[in-house]
């Protein structure tokens, strides 16, 4: 960190002999490591496995590692333990819920002796936007098109609708609670037929009306009985991880969840009668950026404390 801010640090980078073009991510990491200064933080806002690999290597080199990239925390258990061993130098708060204090809250509960019994969550802002639109009478296909138009989904909306991103987030929650699971252990009960994920996104959008008919029927049936559809991620030590579409009763904590909001309900020994619910906007560039910056500050503060103790 430099009190003179980014401009002076960028000048150092530009003057450095180590800033020759890198052929791969690990070369870039080594060049970064060779730059002046003892305290460095590798920040990963990509969705690339190679950048996540470099993050693990950064920790081994003594750097900090801050990531919004969910790949790092959902790879092998061996890699996960490397991250845990570097807890003070590794921060991934934005992996679940953007800037919402979900992972920090869970860790604080566990570190102070609470035991997590069950987690239920809505972890995709784009998918929640689509299903909450059905409450207002939208067809599934129209809701998806509007979500794409508003920029709430990935350019290929099937990435959001497949449930893979939700599965990664749920795995991170489960691992944070101490469960030794891998991505293969997460059951995803999809709400679209397999053919939705065949071919390219143009074909998918062209067939969206037909592909969404089953969801429209489920939504209509739910509304007739006073319920609403939401895509729920669930974990418990006994039952593991499941992501599935559920018809919620009006007394469910997520029944009124609308738009791109995320929500996590945590049942624990302390919150046994009334689960702790953390809810709010769970998507958006500015929110995620603020969470990443907060993580960078946390790692930097710890590094400065260590440096003061060593001197």
Closest by CA position to 245, among listed 230, 257, 235: 230
Q: Give 183: exposed, middle or buried? Use CB within 10 Å, 0-12, 13-18, 19+.
A: middle
Instruction: Residue 66: name the closest of 295, 262, 248, 255 by CA.
Output: 295
Classify residue 136 by its DSSP letter. T
Q: Dig out the tokens for 119 from the structure.
A: 């987690």
202 is catalytic: no
- Which one is catalytic: 70, 78, 91, 169? 169
Residue 246 pairs in a beta bridge with 230
Which stretches of the chain are assigned E, i.e. beta strand? 41-44, 64-67, 90-91, 116-122, 186-189, 228-236, 240-248, 261-268, 276-281
Q: Which residues are catalytic?
A: 169
């Amino acid at each position: 960190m430099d009190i003179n801010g980014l401009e002076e640090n960028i000048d150092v980078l530009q003057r450095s002999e180590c800033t020759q073009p890198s052929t791969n991510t690990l070369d870039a990491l080594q060049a970064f490591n060779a730059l002046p200064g003892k305290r460095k933080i590798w920040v990963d806002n990509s969705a690339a496995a190679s950048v996540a690999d470099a993050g693990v290597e950064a920790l081994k080199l003594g750097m900090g590692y801050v990531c919004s990239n969910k790949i790092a925390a959902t790879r092998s258990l061996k890699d996960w333990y490397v991250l845990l061993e570097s807890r003070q130098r590794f921060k991934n708060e934005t992996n679940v819920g953007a800037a919402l204090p979900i992972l920090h809250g869970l860790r604080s509960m566990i570190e102070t002796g609470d035991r997590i019994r069950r987690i239920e969550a809505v972890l995709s802002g784009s998918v929640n936007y689509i299903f909450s639109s059905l409450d207002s009478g939208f067809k599934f296909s129209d809701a998806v098109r509007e979500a794409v138009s508003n920029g709430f989904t990935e350019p290929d909306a099937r990435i959001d609708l497949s449930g893979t991103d939700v599965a990664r987030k749920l795995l991170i929650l489960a691992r944070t609670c101490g469960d030794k699971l891998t991505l293969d252990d997460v059951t995803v009960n999809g709400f679209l037929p397999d053919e939705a994920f065949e071919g390219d996104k143009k074909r998918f959008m062209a067939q969206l009306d037909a592909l969404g008919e089953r969801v429209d029927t489920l939504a209509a049936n739910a509304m007739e009985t006073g319920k609403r559809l939401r895509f729920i991620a669930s974990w418990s030590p006994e039952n593991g991880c499941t992501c599935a579409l559920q018809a919620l009763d009006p007394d469910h904590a997520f029944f009124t969840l609308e738009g791109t909001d995320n929500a996590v309900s945590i049942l624990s020994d302390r919150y046994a009668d009334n689960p702790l619910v953390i809810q709010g906007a769970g998507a958006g560039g500015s929110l995620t950026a603020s969470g990443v910056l907060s993580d960078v500050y946390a790692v930097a503060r710890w590094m400065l404390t260590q440096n003061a103790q060593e001197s």
